[in-house]
A and B are shown apart, each in its own frame.
Chain A
């Protein structure tokens, strides 16, 4: 799966979690939690959504690597195609 495809899936999930937010306005290097005002419960739901849609099980120990949209899409692109 390409990065644009992964990004599109990420946006679908983020819109479900924070419907009033506009993921398209997020800059690639923005802190996702701050930009979307999502808490740890929302973040866990993002992880669950990614798991269900992309079948990627992100271990908790990797959460710290996923601060920005770029971090997330790169991580997922690597692990989806792996």
Chain B
């Protein structure tokens, strides 16, 4: 039973899609697991033959328990193969459906957003999809808000992760104000060259600048595990996506430092769309090496975030505000954003944190190089 983050303790196997003897390929969905937050499609990362199914449908198992044994190609003896997951997270207020229902809806051409679920926590079931297919020509049903049970489950999961963070991580906080005049001017010029659908959001510049700054200060792109700092080579930026009714998912933009701005915008668009449709993959949930929280859209000026363990840093951005700004003895009005760093004091000190924010600022003053 793989862990999908610090908040997951156990999961329940809903069903297997395979039986012993079946040949499987990398990427096959071999079963469905339910966690407190979501139903999960179990995606296998191995090629081979299913040797044994250890977990039974309906069985609840702790994280780390082996679900199945898969004999990989060319192996004499079978090995308990850890399975990777494709997660279907809760899409609060927008969509919640079982993987089976999703598949049926796709095949039948049914819009899940128009269905009211009858399953646990209001989940859309396969039967709901079939009923909807029969009455497809009727007026669409208004989507209700997420049921209280689901909201409570999500809050419990977030509470577990954040309580662990506050209990274990000695946070320190640093803040700096960054003049975005050059960055926004650059972006405006870039977007004028693009059609509406290809425009880049200002947050993409912030993400890229963070990714670059993490290459310069790699201690912040790391995990704290067993009292040791483990630097991560790849820069996978977890981007906090708020869902309606208070839910939150933090999927990762993989290799953010290696993507250009168009690629980053495409990745962000893809991630937000799939997060809200409930089609994130497990690696996107588990592999983030640092987190960005951008609350500028909500009018917040400064963010003091809580680090998501085992990460060691969280970068927060507030609203871009036109503010008085003195430079070279001149006072002017500039678009200013507040950038904050929440750092794990076990992993780094304020000195390195300050270097990170300085570097971040420098990258945003040279937007054409992002």
Contact = CB atoms under 8 A, between A and B. Distances in A.
A47 B113 CA distance: 21
Nearest to A34: B299
A37 interface: yes
A9 interface: no
Interface in A53-77: 57-61
B346 interface: no
Interface residues of B, number: 24
B276 to A, nearest CB: 10
Contact of A19 (B143, B192, B199, B269): B143
A30 B242 CA distance: 22
B196 A51 contact: yes
Contacts of A22: 142
B197 A51 contact: yes
Given A19-B113, A39-B297, A60-B191, A48 B93 contact: no
A65 to B, nearest CB: 16
A60 B195 contact: no
Nearest to A51: B196
B297 A40 contact: yes
A25 B143 CA distance: 15
B244 A37 contact: yes
A9 B103 CA distance: 30
Nearest to B145: A20
Interface string B298-319: 1000000000000000000000
A40 B203 CA distance: 9
Interface residues of A, number: 17
Contacts of A51: 195-197
Interface string A13-41: 00000011010000000000100010111
Contacts of A41: 201, 268-269, 272
A41 B202 CA distance: 10
Nearest to B113: A19
Contacts of A60: 188, 191-192, 199
B297 A20 contact: no
Contact of B201 (A33, A40, A57, A61): A40
B277 to A, nearest CB: 11
B145 A57 contact: no
B215 interface: no
Contacts of B196: 44, 47-48, 51, 57-58
B188 A57 contact: no
B197 A48 contact: yes
B94 interface: yes
Contacts of A44: 196, 199, 201
A57 B94 contact: no
Given A37-B244, A39-B297, A40-B297, A20 B195 contact: no
Nearest to A47: B196
Contacts of B113: 19
Interface of B: 93-94, 113, 142-145, 188, 191-192, 195-197, 199, 201-203, 242, 244, 268-269, 272, 297-298
Interface of A: 19-20, 22, 33, 37, 39-41, 44, 47-48, 51, 57-61
Given A40-B201, A40-B202, A41-B268, 9 more contacts: A19-B94, A19-B143, A20-B145, A37-B244, A39-B297, A41-B272, A48-B196, A57-B196, A60-B188
24 contacts: A19-B113, A19-B143, A20-B93, A20-B94, A20-B143, A20-B144, A20-B145, A20-B244, A33-B297, A39-B298, A40-B201, A40-B297, A41-B201, A41-B268, A41-B269, A44-B199, A44-B201, A47-B196, A47-B199, A48-B196, A57-B196, A58-B196, A59-B192, A60-B199
Can you list the 5 inter-chain pairs with the closest CB atoms, starting with the nearest?
A: A39-B297, A51-B196, A48-B197, A20-B93, A20-B143
